[in-house]
Structure 1
Amino acid sequence: MKTIPKVGLAILILGIAYSCKQAEESENAALKADYATATTDSTSVISSSAAVQPKNSNRKFVRTADIKFKVKNVAKSTYAIENVTNKFGGFVTYTNLESHINEKSETRVSQDSILETTKFTVDNNITIRVPNTKLDTVIKSIAKEIDFLDSRLIKADDVTLQMLSNKLAQKRSESTEKRIANSIDTKGKKLNQVMDAEETLDTKKEANDNKTIENLSLNDQLNFSTLTINLYQRESIKHELYASEKSINNYRPNLGLQIWDSLKTGWFMLESIVAFIIQLWAIILIIFLGWMGYKKFLKK
């Protein structure tokens, strides 16, 4: 009769344990699904068609991107971003990882120990250059590090006409240079005329060089897009226990030793007074002789 209730109780306990396990597994699965959804959402939000190189297009775009987001750990995310950059043929031009102390306090936990509490935030500003055709791929790879997206700015500036204008200006400048050089060689006779023509030629060459450099800069921006990233993490707290310096009161002598030192100090003061009085023996002798003379002669 007593065995049946015990078996039922065991079955009931096993059933509760199984239910708890199933609930825990369901909760973990939900959390994983939420994380996967959040990651997918971050990737879809951060991606943009402006970062994609159009196929079979004659237009030339200079692409730049500015992204700010929160991460779990700034240092780890920085390493991941640098690895992604290298993987797709890019390079890092600037990175500045800093810890900012928001608050610091000290609490004495024992006579010789102090607990130091530091509240701080970590952030990093990174500038990377990646191949223009890989910008969207790099952005999607970086999206895996996002915990919360603050802002995303992607720009695609069409510089097709600007580059064409620079090339036409270069051709005109080169043609003008040739005509001026021929005039100097064939018609330049007077020194003043030659000097003026040479100055004009130098001006045209300088303008031509400037257009050449401008086109080279545009080509560099076309080939490698610039991506500026600002990442940060939530405020962290660090506790550090260290030994405290002993107070000077710990080295004070006990009361008996202080009384003994006071007695010795008083005795030394008495010795000093007696020694000082003995040093005045001549004055004391004169005063004594004067007093004796006063009593002996002036009273008579």
Structure 2
Amino acid sequence: MKTTYIKLSIATALLLGIYSCKKGEATASDYEVSASADSAAVSKDISSVAIMKVKDKQFIKTANVNMEVKDVYEATTSLEKSVQDLGGFVTHSNLQSNVFSEETFNTSNEEAMLVKKYQTENTIQVRIPTEKLGEFLTLINSKKLFLNSRVINAEDVTASIKYAELEGKRIKKTGENITQLKTNKDKVNMSDENMSEENQQQLANMDVADNLRYSTVDIYIKEPKLRIAEIAVTNTKNIDNKYKFNFLYDMKNAFVEGFYLIQRILVGLVTVWPIVLIVVIGFYFYRKNKSNNRIQQRKEQNSAS
């Protein structure tokens, strides 16, 4: 029961409503997006793709900007505020500082200075009303020190919208045919599959309608050179040296530990007393046997002489 339109990408399966038999059909006008951007307000150095309007055409627009700015944090807050002012929203923002080196310099017995060399960057993704895309790209351009790259895409999805409309009619007709069948297990399965297709199409419709209304802009910004951060900290090396060794305290502990060592040795000997006893008895008989052998040898020598 699955049809080929389900295999299409949700991003390109542009959507004209496939509603249930009781809801009626949607038309292409349901997905028309206002393109009344004021071209005069858009800087000339912004690609015409961002503000392009073609009669009877529908475009999903996206942009990707990679640039260097003077201050990443200031640029981030400014861009995020601009997004809100233009009626958009931020979906991702990952600001971080990459530390390349850090070193501590002692300035006194108690104080030191931690010096870090770092570079700040941020990866941002925003959704901006499509009619405001050109204006927003102009705002981004005003923040740059150096533009590494900028990509603007306008995907023509007019044919996909028409295809989705035709598929909607087909699914509606299929649903009407299913209702006329005699109720049995096969009818239930076909009805379930048809409803599943309808749900997927409606989900795709909402997704594409959203992509038509809002353009996605991915922004990567970083600072061109390393920054230096000087942070006052405690002189830990001097503190370590101060408490590293205490002669009287360590001598007292050594004496106590030595006393405990003797106790542990005595306890150990008591624990193995059977082995000690066997060794003592064995040594006693060994000495006694050796002494008897010497006496016997002397007697033999005396009798021989």
TM-score tier (shorter): 0.5 to 0.7
Tell me the matched-pair count: 207
The alpha carbon displacement at 1:146 in A equals: 0.6
Higher relative contact order (CA 8 A, sep 6+): 2
Pick from 121, 126, 130: which aligns with 2:119? Answer: 121
Query: Structure 1 residues 212 and 247, CA, compared in 2 at 3 Å: closer, same or farther?
Result: closer
Query: Structure 1 residues 93 and 110, CA, compared in 2 at 3 Å: closer, same or farther?
Result: same
1:62 and 2:60 correspond: yes
Residue type at the aligned position of 1:49: S
If you compute each CA radius of gyration, which structure gives the higher value, 1 or 2? 1
Give RMSD over aligned pairs.
Answer: 2.5
Matched-pair identity in %: 26
User: Following superposition of structure 1 onto structure 2, how do residues 240-251 of structure 1 map, counting pairs within 5 Å?
Assistant: 240-245=231-236, 246-247=238-239, 250=242
The alpha carbon displacement at 1:235 in A equals: 1.4
- Match of 1:58, SS state, is coil
Q: Deviation per CA, 1:163-204: give whole Å up to 9, x if none.
A: 2111211110110111111123xxx4xxxxx11122112112
Could you tell me which runs of 5 or more consecutive residues in structure 1 were left unpaired when the two chains were aligned.
Answer: 1-42, 189-193, 266-300
Give the whole-Å Cα distance in 2 for the aligned partners of 1:216 and 1:154.
Answer: 23
User: Following superposition of structure 1 onto structure 2, how do residues 179-198 of structure 1 map, counting pairs within 5 Å?
Assistant: 179-184=177-182, 188=183, 194-198=184-188
CA contact (8 A) 1:163 1:215 kept: no
Higher helix share: 1
- Match of 1:147, SS state, is strand
The alpha carbon displacement at 1:214 in A equals: 1.2
1:130 and 2:128 correspond: yes
Give the whole-Å Cα distance in 1 for the aligned partners of 2:123 and 2:219.
Answer: 6
Give the whole-Å Cα distance in 1 for the aligned partners of 2:150 and 2:82.
Answer: 19
The alpha carbon displacement at 1:83 in A equals: 1.6
The alpha carbon displacement at 1:155 in A equals: 0.7
Match of 2:156 in 1: 158
Give the whole-Å Cα distance in 2 for the aligned partners of 1:204 and 1:119.
Answer: 61
CA contact (8 A) 2:108 2:235 kept: no
Residue type at the aligned position of 1:174: K
Could you tell me which runs of 5 or more consecutive residues in structure 2 were left unpaired when the two chains were aligned.
Answer: 1-42, 256-305
Residue type at the aligned position of 2:119: T
Q: Deviation per CA, 1:225-281: give whole Å up to 9, x if none.
A: 001111111311111233313356557999xx99xx9xxx9xxxxxxxxxxxxxxxx
Query: Structure 1 residues 50 and 251, CA, compared in 2 at 3 Å: closer, same or farther?
Result: closer
Query: Structure 1 residues 130 and 248, CA, compared in 2 at 3 Å: closer, same or farther?
Result: closer
